[in-house]
Amino acid sequence: MSSSTYSSFKLACIQLSVTSDKNANLINAKSKILEASRNGAKVIVLPECFNSPYGTKYFSEYAENIPQGESVKTLSEAAKEANAFVVGGSIPERDSSGKLYNTCTVYDTKGNLIVKHRKVHLFDIDIPGIIKFQESETLSPGSSLTHFETDYGKVGIGICYDMRFPEMAMIAARKGCIAMIYPGAFNLTTGPLHWELLQRARALDNQFFVATCSPARDMTSTYHAWGHSTVTDPNGQIVATTEHEEAIIYADIVSSQRRFDLYPDISAHK
Ligand SMILES: NC(=O)CC(=O)C(=O)O
């Protein structure tokens, strides 16, 4: 399909309440996916670490093999029932050698797992007395960039900290993506500083939509997510956002007039 024939679609970001009960998280995620679909969403996004609390001490316990694990099964069923593309936030993944990753899985409208993205840039921060979080204590980084085709155009995927590295979004744009989607969980320190600024910058630089999807904030958990799931348009304007409670936000995404089918792939330039 050429980019000129792509149509617009409704995108939903589910700012999910995540608990320490994995099964409850999966049931809640599926029910919210079906709710978003009833409201017309055709691409539905979950937050970073949606089946587990976000914290290095939890990753091993909640990790699953992909595609054998129960989270893939639930999301596949949900995508099929919803007849929508599902960007499955992220889950801790354990590969066959025992390494752990922070991984996003994506499903088509038939429930097929079409692509997975392992977080490339691991979030290591140490601001003495304020926040210390070291994903690299337990996780390994992914080593590839990820894009997938929908009926509406190509979409790029990054996870949270990946948003701080502009090259990923730029390459996605040059490859013809109409949007970049970042499941993410900033926090009460970095959220107010950079969450909105980064996504507006990525959108404006690349003249495409950017969507971010956070877990809802839980002040009883060890990591306090910023929330504020947001969709930004190619002008850098916010078209949908929310505060920090559980919520679903919706935005209409329209494909751009740029003709990537006619331009050389400058990301391949040596
Ligand atoms: N959680 C992350 O990966 C990133 C983050 O919180 C930040 O960059 O700030």
ipTM of the complex: 0.97
Substitution site in 119, 122, 160 for ligand 1 pocket (most atoms within 8 Å of beta carbon)? 160
pLDDT single digits (tens) 176-225: 899 999 999 999 999 999 999 999 999 999 999 999 999 999 999 999 99
Let me know how long the chain is. 270
Per DSSP, the three-state class of 77 is: helix
Is the CB–ligand 1 distance for residue 161 below 6 Å?
Answer: yes
Q: Tell me the C-alpha distance between 163 and 194, whole Å.
A: 10
The domains of the chain are located at 9-253
Task: Choose among 234, 254, 231: nearest CA to 242.
Answer: 231
* Interval between CA 240 and ligand 1 midpoint (Å): 21
pLDDT single digits (tens) 95-117: 999 999 999 999 999 999 999 99
pLDDT single digits (tens) 129-159: 999 999 999 999 999 999 999 988 999 999 9
* Interval between CA 160 and ligand 1 midpoint (Å): 6
Q: How many CB atoms lie within 10 A of CB 67?
A: 12
Which residue of the set 10, 32, 119, 154 is catalytic?
A: 119
The answer to whether the CB of 248 falls within 8 A of the CB of 15 is yes
Ligand 1 atom index nearest CA of 185:
1
Q: Looking at the whole model, is its pTM more than 0.90?
A: yes
Is the CB–ligand 1 distance for residue 190 below 6 Å?
Answer: yes
H helical segments located in 175-266: 190, 196-206
pLDDT single digits (tens) 18-57: 999 999 999 999 999 999 999 999 999 999 999 999 999 9
Contacts of 26 (CB under 8 A, 6+ apart): 51, 70, 71, 74
CATH of domain 9-253: 3.60.110.10
Which tokens go with 227? 């929330």
Ligand 1 atom index nearest CA of 226:
6
Is the CB–ligand 1 distance for residue 195 below 6 Å?
Answer: no
